[in-house]
Structures are given as structure tokens and as C-alpha cells.
Chains A and B, each alone.
Chain A
Amino acid sequence: MSQPPEKKPDGATPVITSLSEAGWRLRRPAVILAVLITLLCLLVPLLLRGIGVPAAAKRWLPSDAQWSSGQISNAHVQFGQNCEVCHQTLLVPVRDEACLACHSGLAQHGDDAAALRDAGLDTRRCASCHFEHGGPHAVQQRHPALCADCHAAPERYPSLKDVAAVSDFARAHPPFKVTVAVAGQSARARVLLDEQARDVSGLIFPHDLHLDARGIQGADGKQVLQCADCHRPLMGGAGFEPLRYSRDCQSCHQLDVDLNGRQLRLPHGNNEAARALLQRTAALAPLATPPPVEESEDRRRPGARADRGDARQQPGAVDEVFERRVCAKCHSIVSDSDGSRVQLPQLTQTWMPLARFDHAPHRWVGCDSCHAAQQSQDADDLLLPQIESCRQCHGGINSHSKIQSTCIDCHRFHQAHELTSQALGSQALGSRADEQTQQ
């Protein structure tokens, strides 16, 4: 192809009969392109990385920004132009230390270091589960295999021997278990959430009475109560504020009692103070019952005008207030040699401490879609929905007819309370660390 130009038959100017005779070359453009690419795509970026170039300049220079294999996730864009923040050493995979520089003291998956070692979780890198250069949210993947790699076959791990297999919310998720208060013991128990599950808080409270559609007698007249009148969402909307007598009950239920003809309003929440007040009053001489006001339209309390007798002669009068007249209406009472007192209610803030349920996205669903409070007569009823209720709307990660849901929508991986990344690292080092500190 690269022949010399054909000599013209007459020996005059040569004729050009091919592209190579017209000056087109193969080798020179090839070399130029190869050298150009090597310069612009390898050598100059390496040089710029070596001398350190501000991120703003990187956009216009052939820098290592062109080595990026995909978009940096949203959370890391703030330093994402500086590749050396994570890629600290050439030819070395990104180390955990680079991540922990910001995410310091990250909680492990659990507090049992031995269990973590069994599962191999002590040697996994951050990059085993968190991937970068994959789009705005790549750093937190939603693939169920992240969890199902271990939890789909729990029989392989001794620490998971009591745990059911999980792989997909719609098809392979065990029924919910809840952590409830149990009568007679302070420690809570983890039980299956079914119709028999009870949460014995020590309160007596019929939801059906209070939520009666016909209304109840409130402080300012007839009132139809809604869930939100007592269950107030926390700021931020994730859960609810703890119930408080002063805010949620007192407006209708004052602790009024009369003893020895004297009207008392008992303090709430303090057994000793209430008992002291009652005993002081009981030791006084009884007052005569006041004469009735003829024109009054106040509802007459049954027994208001009965003769109570002299409390000084009735040794059980104070206890009677606790056990029958006032406190026992809403509380379970403990009676022992010291007398009766109100048992401190065990109110539960969350029945599923290993999960996160956020009420805020569910605000548009009526409370009674999931909580059967209208039919509940007893505060011991655990009004939580079972998994079938959730599955009405939530499906697996590949669902086409329901909300695509994955493990981390409700659960967390980094949920240990004590064990952090640094702690686990030092435990792994073990005696070597102790020796170093002693030196």
C-alpha cells in the first residue's frame, strides 16, 4: 500500500493512484494517539496527584477525576473530588481507616464479639457492603442479599441457632416477635406477636370506652376522643411521646377523694406523698357533711352524702383509698406489710427494639387500619398489627404490585450498644495491645 507514486508514463509529474501516495499514513497517527492518551490519561493525572491540585482546578485539568468509574454518592460529594481522601495509597484497596476518619466509633452488628467472629463479621471491610461510584445512593445498597447471605441460612452460625431464616419480606420473613412487659417481673420477655400476646403494664384502661363514637363526658362537656388526643407524635414524627397523667388523663380524672368529710386531691405518681396526706387527714376529727345546696345542678356523686364514719376508727381507710376507691380504678395495687401502694406501671416505649418503625410515612393511613383500639377493653391487649397487616402494602424488593421493601427499611446493621469498630479492633489485637500500653 505504501508504494512510491507511480511514475507518469512520460516521466513528468508522478500520478497519485492510492491513499498512501496521497500522503495518508498509518503509523504516525497511531503513535501520536497512543502518546497523547498516555500523557493525558495517565501521566499528567499522576503528576497532578503527586503535587496536589485543588478540587476546583481539577475540573479543567486532565486529573484523576477521569479515573472515576461512576458517580460519587450524594453523601460523599462534599469531598468526592479529592480522590485521595479515600484512595490514600496507590495500588492499595480503600482501607477502613479512611471511612472511620469521619464515621468514627461505628457500632458493630451486635455486642457479642465472639458471635461476630464466628460469623466472620470482624474481618469484613466497610467496602464489603458499602459501594461507591455507583450513583447517588450506591453507598447504602438495598439488596436483601446483604443480610440474607447470613440470615437466609442461620443454621450455619451458632449464634443464630434460635433465629428464623429470612430472605424476602413477602415470601420468607418470620412472624413478628415483640418485647413485652410481663406481670410480676421487671425483666421483659420476647414473645411471638399473636392474639394471645399481652403486654402487662399494670394499667387498667379500656380503649373502647374512651373511643366511644357517642362521646364521653370530658372536662368541658361531651367530647369524642381521637387517638391523637393522648398519643402525641414526637417532634420529627417517628414515634410518640410517653403518656403522662398530667397531660393526658388529669383533665378528666382528678384524684378527688373525701376522708373524714374533707375533700382531698391526691398527688399523682407519689405513693408516699399520697399516703402521708391520707394518713394526716385520717387522723383529724371528721367534719360534718355539708348541707346540700338546693339549687345545684351538679351531678350528685353516689354516696356523697353517706356517712363515712370516723377514719380514726377505721384502720383500713387509707388502704381502702388505694385498693378500691381511687387508685385501683386505673392501677394494679400491691399490698404487703407496709400497706397498699400503686405498682409503678411498666410503660413500653417500643415493643420492637431491634426494628425501626417510623410512623411519619404512615400518617396518611388511619390509626385503626393497624391498631384495633376501638375493640380493646383491656390495656393488657397488645394492639400491634401482625405481619399480614404490613404485607397488605409492603412486598419484597422485586415486587411489582406492592411497595418494594428491603431489610434496612426496618432493621439496622450497625446496632450494637457497646461494641464499636475501634473496640472490636482492639479486642482482635488482644494481648498485644495490653503489652503496648504497659510499655
Chain B
Amino acid sequence: MSGIKTVWRTLQRALLGVGEAPSQHVSFLLYQRARWLKIALVLCALAALVYLWHDPIEGKSGSTWLGYGLGTLGAVLIGWLAYLGVRKRRFQRGAGRVQGWVSAHVYLGLALTVVVTLHTGFQLGWNVHTLAYGLMLLVILSGLYGISAYAVIPRQITANRDALELRAMLEQITSLNQAALALAERIDPETHAITARSVSEVRIGGSAWEQLSGRYRRVGEVSGLEQFARRKRAELLNKAVSAAQAPARGGRQATIAFVADQIFAAGGARGHDKTGDDKATETLQKLLQTIARRKNLVVRVNRDITLRARLNVWLYVHIPLTVALLAALLIHILVVFLYW
């Protein structure tokens, strides 16, 4: 018994997240000490027991009295589960709390797999009845993905954002773009042209598949811009060095002059003396740093987009299939009475 309690507490801690105090966030899976989990388990156990005890003459199927009972229960549950879409939009009004509704939605939805499967009596075939059953299973499967997504991804989003909202990150990218442009202007027109092109081509987000896979096309011409910038800096450095290596004058004078010139050039290369070229190098350095920061931000923004896409993708399966399921369910019930 104590072993079970330990497992339960570990589970609670994992799902509750950081901290154990009840005033902290409680996962919707453990709402009210997992009340709906218990209710769903009891429901499944009851259904299974009655199913095992029932021994109808024609064999177990959806058309025995138990089949009709379980089918009615399943249909009512499906209808109530679909109603969550309405209830969650009327957040303040309505009975109970939306968190409780979500918890019940999850566990009663999972219980449906047991209840409806017993209702079928395991008689499946290529017909409209099994179509409804199959749609229901797909809806539940997508919901299972949703539960695991909701349990894992929000924490990852928070960690990735690191106290910055998406909008704030986008604004930062904007200001970094402008800073880069301003810096490039100060160097030379070629750099400015390339920087402007990179700014206009930076890609944030992408197609649905890019979003879900997390593999985006290269973030603009950043790498091209980087290469260009590094090449530029190398050029300028070489110019400074070669400028320092002036044509040799004759004799000792030339040597002193040469050495003096070297020292001068070395000092210039370190940026102590702000000549035009030295300024360009320093600006280039800043440009490179700005570009690197922007790239970092774009990566974070794209990761945020990916995480949110993965958090919501299942809804594009869950909800249209629920509507399809409701249609198939109504037809399934109607057909039973059409060909009674």
C-alpha cells in the first residue's frame, strides 16, 4: 500500500510541476485530487463487470439491452464532451469551473474507449456503425496527443521565451535590424546594400510543415552577410597592415621610420588611432555582433513558433473529426431504427 502511495505522490509531483504546495498550479489531470480519473475508472470497471456477467442468447452485440444501454451512455457522453467547445467559450457562466470540465472531458473521453468498445460487443465491420467507432477512436487518439502536448510543451515555451514575449522578441529583432542598417551605412555602400537585403529577407516562421518540423529555411542571408562582413574585416585589416608596411626608405632612417611605422600600424590595427579604416573595422565588429544577436533571437522566435504549432496541431484533427463523429453518430442511431 505504501508503495502505491509513493508512486502516486511521484506522479502528482511530476504532473504538478515545481513545488508541492496545494496553492501552486495543479494540472488539469489532477483537478480535485484526480476526481474525474477515479470516476472514469469506476465507470469502466462497472461497464466491464456488467458486460462479463451478461450472457445474451444472440451473443454480445450492440442490439442487446446492455448494448442499447451502453450505446445510450456513450452517445450522451460524446454529446457532453463535444459541448466543452461551447462551455469553454462562456468561461464565467455555467456550472462548475472550466478546469473541472476539461479534467472531466479528458477522463470521460478516455473512458469512452472502454464503454463504446463494450457496446460494440467487438462486432466490427465495414459499415457506418464501425465508421462512427473509428472516428471516435481517432478523436480520442488526437486528444491523447493533446494531453501529452499540454503536459510537456508549455514548460518548454516558458524556458525558451526566457521572460520575453513573442511580440517583444519581434520588436527587438526590428530594432536590431535598424541598428544593423545604421552601422552598415557607416562602413560603405556595398555593406549597406548587403545588410539591407539581409534585413528584408530574414525569415521568421514559415509554412505549416516548417513550423511543425522545426526545420526552417536558412534565416535569410545572415550567413552570407556574416561571411561578407568577415571578409570585409579581413580586407580592412590587411589594408592597415600593408599600409603600415610603407615602401622602404634608405638606411637607418628608413629602419627607424619603418619600425615607427610598424608600431603606428599595429596601434592603428588595435583601434587606438581612429582612422577611417579603423573605424570601419570597429563598426564591422559591432555589425557582426548585432547580426549574431538577431540570429539568436530569430532562432528563439522560430522555436517558439514551432512549440506553439506542436501544441495546437492536434486540434485541427480533434475538432473536425468530432464534428464528423457527431454526424456519423446521428446516422448510426437513425439507421438502427430505420432498419429496426
Contact = CB atoms under 8 A, between A and B. Distances in A.
Given A26-B315, A146-B57, A9 B171 contact: yes
Main secondary structure of the interface of A (DSSP, over half): loop
Interface string A122-140: 0000000101001100100
A347 to B, nearest CB: 40
Interface stretch (B20-28, B86-94, B144-152, B198-206): B198-206
B2 interface: no
Interface string B125-162: 11111010000000000000000000000000000000
Contact of B204 (A15, A23, A34, A41): A15
B199 A10 contact: yes
Interface residues of A, number: 49
Interface string A255-276: 0000000000000000000000
A41 B128 contact: yes
A210 to B, nearest CB: 48
Interface string A64-107: 10111111000000000001000100111110000000000000
A146 B56 CA distance: 10
A143 B328 CA distance: 33
Interface string B301-340: 1000100110011011001111110111001001111111
B76 interface: no
B58 A90 contact: no
A16 B200 contact: no
B170 interface: yes
B170 A70 contact: no
Given A42-B335, A66-B126, A16 B206 contact: yes
B131 A41 contact: yes
Contacts of B309: 18-19
Range for the number of chain B residues in contact with chain A: 35 or more
B173 interface: yes
A33 B319 CA distance: 11
A37 to B, nearest CB: 5
B207 A16 contact: yes
A22 interface: yes
Closest 4 CB pairs of A and B: A9-B174, A30-B323, A33-B324, A131-B58
29 contacts: A1-B312, A8-B204, A15-B170, A17-B166, A18-B308, A19-B208, A19-B212, A30-B319, A30-B320, A30-B324, A33-B321, A38-B331, A41-B331, A67-B128, A67-B335, A69-B63, A69-B129, A69-B336, A70-B61, A70-B123, A91-B340, A131-B57, A131-B59, A134-B58, A134-B61, A141-B59, A143-B55, A143-B56, A145-B55
Interface of B: 55-59, 61-63, 123, 125-129, 131, 166, 170-171, 173-174, 177, 199-200, 203-208, 211-212, 301, 305, 308-309, 312-313, 315-316, 319-324, 326-328, 331, 334-340
Interface of A: 1, 6, 8-10, 12, 15-19, 21-26, 29-31, 33-34, 37-38, 41-42, 64, 66-71, 83, 87, 90-94, 129, 131, 134-135, 138, 141, 143, 145-146
